[in-house]
Every structure is written in C-alpha cells, then in structure tokens.
Amino acid sequence: MSTTTPPAVQTAGASRMPPVDVTDRKYNKKRRQPLPYLLLLPTVVILLVMLGYPVVTMIINSFYKYDRGAYIGFTEPEFVGFGNYTNVLTDSSFWLMLFRSFLFMIVAVLLTMALGVLMSLLMMRLNKGIRLLVSVGLLLAWAMPALAATQVWAWLFDTTYGVVNWVMTRLTGSNWFGHSWLASPLSFFTILGIIIVWQGVPFIAFSLYAGLTQIPTEVLEASQMDGASPVKRFFLIMFPYVRSIFTVMVVLSIIWDLRVFAQVQALQMVGGTADQTSTFGVWIYRTGTGGDFGLSAAAAVIMVFVMLVISFYYVRQTLKEGN
C-alpha cells in the first residue's frame, strides 16, 4: 500500500509553514561580523583617553583636600571623602551662582530660539540674492571665536572710548562718557546675553531653515488657499515638521548657555565684578585657581551630573528618531 502524501496535502502543509526570510538571515549574519566593531575601536579608544581619563581623574580629586603644598606637588593631598561635596552644597555662594546661571540660561535660550525661528522664517521669504547676503552675515557671526567676539562687544561698550557711550551722548544730550556698563550685574548680563544670543542665533536659524525647506510646497499652498493665517500655518503645519529639530536645538542651547565660560571670563577681566557675575564654569575655575582644587573638582562633578540629566532627553530623543 502506498504511503505517498497526496499533492494537495503537501501543498496545504507547505502553505502552513512559516516563510523563511533569507534577507533577515543575511542581515543578522552581517551584523555579527566583527569588522564594524573593529572600525569603531580607534574612535572609542580616543574618546576613552581624551574624555574618560579627565573625568575619572576629576572624580578622584573631588575626594581629596588640596592645600598650597599639595596643589604644587610638594605634599600629599588629604582624603576627605564626600567632604568637598558637603562644602559645595552648603555654600550659599554656590547656590546663588547656580540660580544666576540657570536664570541667565533660561533668558538666553528663549531669546535665541525666538530670534532663530524668526530668522529662519525670514530666510524662507527672501529672494535668492538677499538670502545669500543674510546667510553670509550669519555665518560670520557664527564663525567668530567667542573670545574675539567678546572683545569686540566689550570695545563697543567701553567706558571711555565705547561707541555705545558716544551714541547715548549724542541721542540724550547728557554726558555718558565714563559710564561703566560692566559694573552693574544687570547690565553685565545684558551685554553677555547680547553676545551669547548674537552667536547662537545663526546655528538655530540655519538648522530650522534646513528643516522648513523640506516641507512640501503643496501643503503650504493648500493651507494658504484654505485661509489659514501665517501664525496658524506655522504652529499647525510648519512646526510639526520641524518639532524634532526644534527639540534638539533647545536641549543643545540649554547645555551651551549653561556652561558658558570664555565670554564671562573675558568680560570680568575688562571690568565686571567676579563675585556677582560668575556663572557655573567661571565659579569652578576661580575656585580651583584659588587653591581649593578638591572643592573645584567636586563642583565640576556636580556640573557634569547636571549636564547628564539635561542631555538624557536629547540622547533619548536621538535614539528614538534613529529607531
């Protein structure tokens, strides 16, 4: 008696078998190859040496107390455990500096994002020639080194020879020569904010402009024909397309403005009061150069922790978009 399975049954059985995806097998096999990891190895080693070593050294130094002799290497530092962290967190000047840094960061980020959005929308409306001139001007402001830009603005607000004092004298009729704009903390941070926003707007404008140019023109034309106002077109049509870019720009601006150093240090050297105008980075620098190296390292570790908390959302958003 024949035991051969009828062709119909064979076909029915074959149809119930799960299909074999040869492409997935090849892809998984390719992913298991060590070549991509070997190519990434030099970069990982460089990052570990250039970033990992200083961070580990900073964490170790934060547990020691350095006197003058230990600071220059004549004596051994004293191990104090978490004493430096306790001293930092109980120091009223640290919390005042922290509040000052976050307040400045919030104002600077809001102004930078608002002006960057307006500039990107303006570039969308300009013709090719004018847009090229505007782009060149933004690139020059963006490419200027931070220290050089600070010196230029400090000269504009110079007490004796500043252009701003000369203009104010001409406009008001009163004598503004000799007025120090950096002596008051409010005017100091106003000038600092001008410098930070002036150099931060180009990056925001270019990034958002690149995203806005990817919006289909048919969608914008259809919304305009439906009678949508410019404000509604931006918030209901344009903004959803560039929401991910906008989020990344906000997080990066927060990090950049919170760790600003060169501009604050340069303005303080020109005429600012260090005790009333120091931000996060400058406070750590002055504490370390003042001889309390362990206390400075502890404050730097706290700053790194704050940056990691802020960067967490940025990294999470980047991974989500990658997936």
Any idea what the CATH number is for the domain that residue 311 is in?
A: 1.10.3720.10
| For residues 215-220, average pLDDT | 87
- Shared domain for 289 and 195, answered yes or no, is yes
Both structure tokens of 247: 């989020």
User: What is the structure's pLDDT at 198?
Assistant: 95
User: Which residue, 154, 203, 206, is CA-closest to 181?
Assistant: 154
User: What is the structure's pLDDT at 1?
Assistant: 46
Q: Which range among 18-22, 88-92, 272-276 shows the weakest confidence by mean pLDDT?
A: 18-22
Strand partners, 64: 79
- Shared domain for 31 and 162, answered yes or no, is no
The residue among 312 and 199 whose pLDDT is bigger is 199
- Does residue 190 belong to any structural domain of this protein? yes
- Shared domain for 202 and 112, answered yes or no, is yes
- Note the pLDDT tens digit of each residue in 54-69: 889 899 989 998 876 6
- Shared domain for 29 and 111, answered yes or no, is no
User: What is the structure's pLDDT at 2?
Assistant: 47
* Distance separating alpha carbons of residues 69 and 75, to the nearest angstrom: 5
- Shared domain for 38 and 163, answered yes or no, is no
Q: Which residues of 61-86 are buried (b: 16+ CB within 10 A; e: fewer)?
A: bbbbbbeeebbeeeeebeebeebbbe
Spatial neighbors of 23 by CB under 8 A, at least 6 apart, are none
Where does the pLDDT of residue 309 fall: very low under 50, low under 70, confident under 90, or very high at 90 and above? Answer: confident
Whether the predicted pLDDT of 27 surpasses 80: no
When divided into structural domains, the chain yields a total of: 2
Range of the domain at 104: 97-322
Residue 281 burial (CB count, 10 A): 19
Q: 8, 38, 60: which is the final residue of a domain?
A: 60
- Does residue 204 belong to any structural domain of this protein? yes
| For residues 114-136, average pLDDT | 93
Whether the predicted pLDDT of 261 surpasses 70: yes
| Tokens 């950049």 found at | 256
- Shared domain for 36 and 139, answered yes or no, is no
Where does the pLDDT of residue 15 fall: very low under 50, low under 70, confident under 90, or very high at 90 and above? Answer: very low
Whether the predicted pLDDT of 30 surpasses 60: no
Q: Are 82 and 164 in contact (CB under 8 A)?
A: no
Provide the whole-model pTM. Answer: 0.82
| For residues 260-281, average pLDDT | 90
- Does residue 87 belong to any structural domain of this protein? no
Q: Which one-letter amino acid corresponds to residue 278?
A: S
- Shared domain for 243 and 151, answered yes or no, is yes
- Does residue 19 belong to any structural domain of this protein? no
- Note the pLDDT tens digit of each residue in 170-209: 998 888 988 899 999 999 999 999 999 999 999 999 999 9
Whether the predicted pLDDT of 7 surpasses 70: no
- Shared domain for 217 and 289, answered yes or no, is yes
- Shared domain for 49 and 119, answered yes or no, is no
Where does the pLDDT of residue 320 fall: very low under 50, low under 70, confident under 90, or very high at 90 and above? Answer: confident
- Shared domain for 140 and 56, answered yes or no, is no
Whether the predicted pLDDT of 225 surpasses 90: no
Q: 32, 60, 88: which is the final residue of a domain?
A: 60
- Does residue 18 belong to any structural domain of this protein? no
Q: 10, 35, 60: which is the final residue of a domain?
A: 60
Strand partners, 79: 64
- Does residue 103 belong to any structural domain of this protein? yes
- Shared domain for 47 and 111, answered yes or no, is no
Task: Report the share of the chain in percent with pLDDT over 70.
Answer: 86
